[in-house]
Structures are given as C-alpha cells and as structure tokens.
Structure 1
Amino acid sequence: MQKIILQLEELVCPTCLQKIETAVGNIDGVQNLKVLFNASKVKAEIDSEKTTVDAVAKVIESVGFDVLSTKVR
C-alpha cells in the first residue's frame, strides 16, 4: 500500500467534499480515504496493483476540482 496526498484547489462547501469522497471512494484499490476540507487535501492509501495516484487525480478532476500537486509516500 502506498500513502498518497493530493493538494486541491480550495474547497468551498461541504458538497464539494462529498463529491470527492464519493468519486474517489468508488475507485478499486483506494482505502482509508480522508478528504480534509479546511486544508483542501485528499489523503488515502492505494494498492499500486489496482490504481495509481494519477488515476485518483484524474477522477478528482473529472468531478470538477483541480489537483495542484500529488505526493506518494
């Protein structure tokens, strides 16, 4: 499992958080998902055999949010 952190554009409402949680939560291989509203970050663990940080970023962007940076630990 890889720990990932994605810095997003500023989240302005709780609905934004729910959209991201739903979209990313449906990706096979994503676990321990946390969307940090005040910090505008997404933290999760991913199974690198099932998905990638780039795939997660694309899903977030597909629901209307810019991903400013990504980190893999």
Structure 2
Amino acid sequence: MKKAVYQLEPLTCPSCIKKIESTLTKTEGIDSVKVLFNSSKVRTQFDESKIEASTIQDTIQKLGYPVLSSKFA
C-alpha cells in the first residue's frame, strides 16, 4: 500500500468532504480516504498495482477541486 496527500485549494463547504470521500471510496484500488476540511487536504491509502496516484489526482480535479500539490509516502 502507498499513501498520498493532496493539497487542494481551500474547501468552502462541508459537503465537499462527502463528495470527495464517497467518490474516492468507490474507486477500485483505494483502501482509505480522509478529507481534512480545515487544511484542505485529502489523505489516501491505495494499492499502486491497481491505481496510480495521478489517476486519484485526476479524479479529485474532475470533481471540481484543483490539486495544488501532492506528497507520497
């Protein structure tokens, strides 16, 4: 499993959390998702043999949330 943290532009509403978490949770290869509203970060744990970090970033951006940066562990 690999971990990634995506820094987003400031989130403006709590429903953003639900939208991002529910979409990513349903995505194959993603084990866990946590959206941190106050810091506008998305923490993920995923199976890199099933999904690439860039695909996760693309999914977040397609939901309408620009990703400013990402860090991997």
Please, what TM-score do these two structures have when normalized by structure 1? Answer: 0.94
Q: Could you list the runs of 4 or more consecutive aligned residues of structure 1 that deviate by over 2 angstroms after TM superposition?
A: none
CA RMSD of aligned residues (A): 0.8
Q: Which consecutive residues of structure 1, in runs of 5 or more, have no partner in the other structure?
A: none
Q: Partner of 1:13 in structure 2? A: 13
Contact 2:25 2:32 in 1 (8 A): no
Partner SS, residue 68 of structure 1: strand
Share of identical aligned residues, percent? 40
Aligned length: 73
Partner SS, residue 17 of structure 1: helix
Q: What CA deviation, in whole Å up to 9, does each residue of 1:11-33 have, x standing for no partner?
A: 01011111111111111111121
* Alpha-carbon distance in structure 2 between the residues aligned to 1:13 and 1:40: 11
**1:24-63 matches, cutoff 5 A:** 24-63=24-63
Please, what TM-score do these two structures have when normalized by structure 2? Answer: 0.94
* Alpha-carbon distance in structure 1 between the residues aligned to 2:9 and 2:25: 19
